[in-house]
Structure 1
Amino acid sequence: MNHFGPRPDCRSPRLAELAGRAVRLSDDIPVVFDAPLSPQHRLIGAWVAEQYTSRAEYTRPQARRHIERAFGTKVSDILEPVALAGLRVSVRGDEAGKNTALAIICEGLGQIDLGWIEDGDAPIPWRATAYSALKRMLGRVLPVFGYQDLFDEYAAINWEGETEDDAARDALIDLHGVSEHELDGQTLPSTLHASRPPWMIADNAVVDALLPRSLHERLDRVREAHDALVGVPPGSDAWHVEHDILYDYMPEMEEHYHLPPLTLVPFAQFAGELDDIARHGMEVGFADVAGLCPLPDASRIDGWFASFGLGARFLCAVQDLIAFNPAQS
């Protein structure tokens, strides 16, 4: 049976190492010896020419390599400190081959390592406050799902969307052929809710005034980095996906499952349920695009890099929060 990121293999630093920080142009963009430069190479090349003045003359193959190396180096420099998830950037052409977009793709899979929030000995209110903040903000940058998404998916698959125990029992009997004497071994909405550890429950979070200063400061840095993304102009937002145009640039995504590849739901408590809802995604792929930004011309690239850097800064602040253990400070 396929497992959706068993815990030893799903920790994000390991995923980041496996995924690398590759930057490449889509396979749909021809890179043929001495063929004319593609529209995508010409657009990125115009930006490279503004950034790196050079009197050198290039053959077409040399120009391609120079464009890809210059653009890729800047992307890699920004992503270098990010270890929370494996990310790569792909330069995409639309189906007509005339328009260009920059896609951020998440190559991580499974549970995000929650560090002390999940495994530490800090008081529950501190852990719940940090977890609640991640649940609220992390989706601004990463394709990630939480407990409510798990519950809704599991309900749709097993209880025909029912959310109360009695209706879920009826669905199991009427639609899934479960007999009355088998019901005791079945997962119901109440048992799923009861499986949540107390640090997952938002009502256990507290106001910042009740937190130690060191934790308060780290949460503030996460919020400030998140808030900086709010003012990014839509046309330059590296971390936004406009689904109306996604399939124009990435038609393969139509076949992917709608569930994101990353989760904040702990495997220790929900391994079976996570395997259940992720089975289809393991077969056809997940909704792993973290951002898709069309580029009508090269003038938009600096804005894209600015927002790309803001997202990386936010992820670094999240990493710092997770790596820190307030109980040991």
Structure 2
Amino acid sequence: MRTLTRPAARRHIERVFDATVLDVLNSVDLVDLRVVVLQGGEQGGPPAIAIICESLGQIDLGWIETGDAPVAWRAAAYRALDQSLGRVLPIYGYQYLFDEIAMYYWDGETEDDAARQSLIAYHGADADELENMALPSEMNARRPAWMIAANAAASKRLPTALRRKLDTLDRASKALGGLESERNAWNCDFEIIQDYIPGYEECSSLPPLTLVPFEQFARELDDIARNGMEMGFMDIAGLCPLPDADRIDDWFTALRRGVQLLVAAQDLIRLDPTQL
């Protein structure tokens, strides 16, 4: 029987761990993810494992954005992605963008009349300038029909193949959501992140990924991304402390469930609507 020194045993464990992680993540190409093992935090806690997102920008929505399938189908698919991807990715949708822009331009106001008053009172705009300034209703009106959840078809009115893809995504999302947060590889607690990765409190709180189409909202996306480009984005997809050795099994279980969700999202995006 071969006996390993402690350093050799550690290297062996690291190689096995890295190979297993890569094997699990191999089926994901929607985004680039990296796994990092961290030593105990500043408070002397247990080791932890972080999942970091290395992709930036708009998620490629495929046929949902650029295809000519019925709007009701595309809206159903987009709504499902909007409701599920936040479980595994640092990502934001339209409502987050709208709220950020409301704070940025209109001091939090979301109705046109109040936004106009804000532009006059706090930004020094005059009546003539208001005609050329974006207001909440104008921003909302730029949303393509497939971005509006109310346009989504009911499940029973969708083609069978699309309905199955949506059901698979929903089941994967619920399976991951059913895990306890302390055993979930994809859990993000900002206080825990600060403890294990000093300096992250200086980063922007903005996630690096978005479901908002750049074509319609380029200016708004650029405006809120400016701070992230300068200070860094909140790119942690999950950070899970491991107080006991057997927690590694729970971590891998959660990792696989998250990957199943991402693969289900990939399959939905890559669906060929002409074959439905």
Residue number among 84, 98, 101 corresponding to 1:154 in the alignment: 101
- Pick aligned residue for 2:38 from 71, 83, 92: 92
Name which of 115, 123, 127 aligns with 1:168.
115
Percent of paired sites with the same residue: 56
Which residues of 2 match residues 106-125 of structure 1 at below 5 A? 106-125=53-72
CA distance in 2 between partners of 1:74 and 1:189 (Å): 48
| Residue number in structure 2 paired with 1:296 | 243
Displacement of 1:77 after TM fit? 0.5
Identify the residue that residue 73 of structure 2 maps to in structure 1. Answer: 126
Instruction: Check whether the contact 1:150–1:274 (CA below 8 A) recurs between aligned residues.
Output: yes
Q: Give 1:257's match in structure 2, choosing from 169, 182, 204.
A: 204
1:298-324, Cα deviation, whole Å (9 max, x unpaired): 110011001101100110011000001
The yes-or-no answer on 1:211 pairing with 2:158 is yes
Q: Verify: 1:232 aligned to 2:179, yes or no.
A: yes
SS at match of 1:104: strand
Match of 1:223 among 163, 166, 170: 170
| Partner amino acid, structure 1, of 2:35 | V
Q: TM-score, normalised to structure 1's length?
A: 0.80
* 3-state SS, counterpart of residue 240 of structure 1: coil
| Greater relative CO (CA pairs within 8 A, separation 6+) | 2
Q: Is the 8 A contact 1:222 1:314 kept in 2?
A: yes
**Which secondary structure does the structure 2 equivalent of 1:273 belong to?**
helix
Query: What is the TM-score normalised by the length of structure 2?
Result: 0.95
Alignment check: 8 A CA contact 1:214 1:326 kept = no
- Give SS of 1:130's match: helix
Q: What is the distance in 2 between the residues matched to 1:206 and 1:160?
A: 35
Query: Equivalents in 1 of 2:224, 2:102: separation in Å?
Result: 10
What SS does structure 2 have at the residue aligned with 1:280?
helix
- The match for 2:89 among 139, 142, 149 is 142
Contact 1:219 1:321 survives alignment (8 Å): yes
Deviations 1:25-48 (A, max 9, x none): xxxxxxxxxxxxxxxxxxxxxxxx
Instruction: Calculate the aligned-residue CA RMSD, in Å.
Output: 1.5
Matches within 5 A, 1:174-323: 174-323=121-270
Q: CA deviation at 1:296?
A: 0.5
Q: Which amino acid aligns with 1:74?
A: T
1:68 corresponds to: 14
3-state secondary structure, aligned to 1:89: strand
Counterpart CA distance in 2 for 1:151 and 1:145 is 11
1:77 corresponds to:
23
Shift of 1:98: 5.1
Task: Structure 2: give runs of 5+ residues left out of the alignment.
Answer: none
Where 1:298 maps in the other structure, the secondary structure is: coil
Is the CA contact 1:116–1:324 (under 8 Å) kept in the aligned structure 2? yes
Map of 1:24 onto structure 2: none
C-alpha separation in 2, matches of 1:270 and 1:137: 22
Q: Which runs of 5+ in 1 are unaligned?
A: 1-53
CA contact (8 A) 2:87 2:177 kept: no
> Matches of 1:102 and 1:323 in 2, distance apart?
31
Q: Which residue type is aligned with residue 103 of structure 2?
A: A
Residue number in structure 1 paired with 2:49: 102
Query: In structure 2, how many angstroms separate the alpha carbons of the residues matched to 1:225 and 1:96?
Result: 35
Report the equivalent of 1:29: none
SS at the partner of 1:251?
A: coil
Deviation of the 1:106 alpha carbon: 0.9
Contact 1:120 1:325 in 2 (8 A): no
Contact 1:295/1:301 (8 A) holds in 2: yes
- Asked if the contact 1:212/1:326 (under 8 Å) is kept, the reply is no
Mapping of residues 17-96 of structure 1, within 5 Å: 55-58=2-5, 60=7, 62-93=8-39, 94-96=41-43
Q: d(CA) in 2 for partners of 1:144 and 1:230? A: 17
